[in-house]
């Protein structure tokens, strides 16, 4: 509106974010933080066949919410773990892209959410995606399902998620982002079925260097009187 040109650095963090998505998924389903804390507290006295039982991801249904660069990178990794790929997106992917992931497209987000074992939130935060995973939709999740968010905290209704995690209606959650950045919900922090990280999914040395290089290219292109390659336009929002 003010005629200010904006550019960003798309694509550089897709693989890093997808890696962290899988890390959170495994941490939640296999209860890794609980095991780590037990070791740190000196509470480990030896192997027990029923201690810290988690669930497999192999053979489970993964529902990817937002099948862009990051969503596809998550799907690629999840396939290697033996997961079935499902997705909801603003637009259906091309047939050949779907075939590469053996992915199933769901036009209805409600129907997809109700049938998945794991939901991975990988869509951007826009006015249309604010609280896309609202209380009603979160309640649709099946028993034993978990949700992972490495996108933006505002996509999930955090108070509703907290209530459902406390009641056990949602089995677990892995969150790298929060609805109010810098203020990890105190109730969430006290739940054993939640793994929380400080917005670090893109935090790799390689990724930050690539980001910086893209910034320099955008600035240099603008200074030379040309359109930056990564200019953000209103239609993207």
> Where in the sequence numbering do the catalytic residues fall?
152, 181, 199
- 3-state SS, one letter per residue, for the chain: CCCCCCECCCCCCHHHHHHHHHHHHHHHHCCHHHHHHHHHCCCCCCCCCCCCCCCCCCCCEEEEECCCHHHHHHHHHHHHCCCEEEEECCCCCCHHHHHHHCCEECCCHHHHHCCCCEEEECCCCCCCCCCCECHHHHHCCCCCCEEEECCCHHHECHHHHHHHHHHCCCCEEEECCCCCCCCCCHHHHCCCCEEECCCCCCCCHHHHHHHHHHHHHHHHHHHCCCCCCCECCHHHC
């Amino acid at each position: 509106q003010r005629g200010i040109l904006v550019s960003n650095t798309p694509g550089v963090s897709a693989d890093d974010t997808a890696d962290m998505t899988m890390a959170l998924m495994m941490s939640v389903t296999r209860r890794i933080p609980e095991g780590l804390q037990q070791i740190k507290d000196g509470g480990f006295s030896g192997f027990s066949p029923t201690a810290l039982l988690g669930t497999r991801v192999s053979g489970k249904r993964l529902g990817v919410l937002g099948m862009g660069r990051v969503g596809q990178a998550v799907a690629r990794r999840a396939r290697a773990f033996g997961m079935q790929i499902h997705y909801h997106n603003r637009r259906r992917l091309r047939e050949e892209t779907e075939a590469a992931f053996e992915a199933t497209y769901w036009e209805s987000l409600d129907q997809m959410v109700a049938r998945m074992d794991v939901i991975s939130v990988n869509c951007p935060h826009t006015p249309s995606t604010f609280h896309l995973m609202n209380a009603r939709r979160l309640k649709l999740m099946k028993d034993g399902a978990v949700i992972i968010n490495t996108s933006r905290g505002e996509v999930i209704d955090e108070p509703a998620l907290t209530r459902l995690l406390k009641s056990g209606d949602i089995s677990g959650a892995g969150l790298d982002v929060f609805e109010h950045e810098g203020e990890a919900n105190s109730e969430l922090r006290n739940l054993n079925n939640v793994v929380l990280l400080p917005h670090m999914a893109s935090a790799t040395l390689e990724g930050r260097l690539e980001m910086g290089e893209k910034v320099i290219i955008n600035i240099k292109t603008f200074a030379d009187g040309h359109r930056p390659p990564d200019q953000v336009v209103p239609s993207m929002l």
